[in-house]
Amino acid sequence: MESDTIGRGRMSGRAALVTGAGSEGDEIGIGRAIALAFAREGARVACLDLEAAKAEATAAWIRNEGGEAIAIAGDVTSRKDCDTAVALAVEAFGGLDALVNNVGISVGMTVEQFDQALWQRVFDTNLLSAMLMARASAEALTASGRGSIVNISSIAGMVTMGSLAYGTSKAALHHLTCELALMLGRKGIRANTVAPGHLATPMVARLLPESMRESRRKVGPLGIEGDAWDVARAVLFLSSDEARFISGVELPVDGGVTMLGALAGMALVTDDS
């Protein structure tokens, strides 16, 4: 849900790079919402996506609103592509203040069906990419003097949800975030994690049947789904000076689901039945 909580100039004069910033058509996925939110807060935004057309669509949206943005096509599992993306952003904007690692994939996998190639693909996309982008951007973020890295994880990395490769990679992503917070902190770079959960995004609409979405709504303390803008607002906060003394945290954006015990969740579902 968009609101007037975005657009107060919190990122004015800054440059941001958002990976996975593209979406299909006019859809608002998490990456696009983050890129738009940064731009509406005054940032110049580099929109990085594997597909050039999707990156350009988000950048064009920002420019149409009067903002400044560039589109970059690249594979975040490639060290060369990550280096190039950061170099292009720095060249276009004169520096870099914020990095958001939003790229992620999930595959169905059980212990009995373990596929090493798929496992490696998930870890390369969800974890290696964040490390490569952090390494590539560290110098520019240090020069900023107020650098911020926000990694987009998932509540699947906080609680067990039957997502063998995805959940494990996302749990590792937050630990990586903590290591970055420690190793880069004295260079003026903060690193934090946002863990979305139970969101109504275009991908969810395509993949989950309405019955499953209804179950998710019932089990949540708020009784609703979140959306991409909820994640964008959390990322904005953690990337801004409002969070200047916050580093190494994992912020769930999940309507309170991860703090529930199993019996409390069952009781909510029963009460709504």
How far is it, in rounded angstroms, from Cα 53 to Cα 36?
Answer: 16
Predicted confidence (pLDDT) per residue in 239-248, tens digit: 999 999 999 9
How far is it, in rounded angstroms, from Cα 23 to Cα 57?
Answer: 8
Going by C-alpha positions, the residue among 46, 47, 45, 33 that lies closest to residue 5 is: 33
Rg (C-alpha) for the chain, rounded Å, is: 18
Other beta carbons within 10 angstroms of residue 28's beta carbon come to 18
* Domains of the chain by start residue, with CATH: 15-209+225-259 (3.40.50.720)
Q: Would you please indicate which residues are annotated as catalytic (active-site) residues?
A: 166
| Predicted pLDDT at 3 | 55
Other beta carbons within 10 angstroms of residue 259's beta carbon come to 11
Q: How many CA atoms lie within 13 A of 252 on its CB side?
A: 15
Residue 247 DSSP label: -
Spatial CB neighbours of 37, under 8 Å, sequence gap ≥ 6: 6, 229, 232, 233, 235, 236
| Predicted pLDDT at 169 | 97
| Predicted pLDDT at 142 | 98
Q: Measured at the alpha carbon of residue 32, what is the angle toward residues 13 and 59, in degrees to the nearest 5?
A: 60
| Predicted pLDDT at 221 | 87
* pTM strictly above 0.85: yes
How far is it, in rounded angstroms, from Cα 87 to Cα 10?
Answer: 24
| Predicted pLDDT at 91 | 98
Q: In which residue ranges of the chain is pLDDT below 70?
A: 1-5, 207, 263, 265, 272-273
Burial 196-227 (b: 16+ CB within 10 A, else e): bbbbbbbbbeeeeeeeeeeebbebbeeeebbb
| Predicted pLDDT at 37 | 97
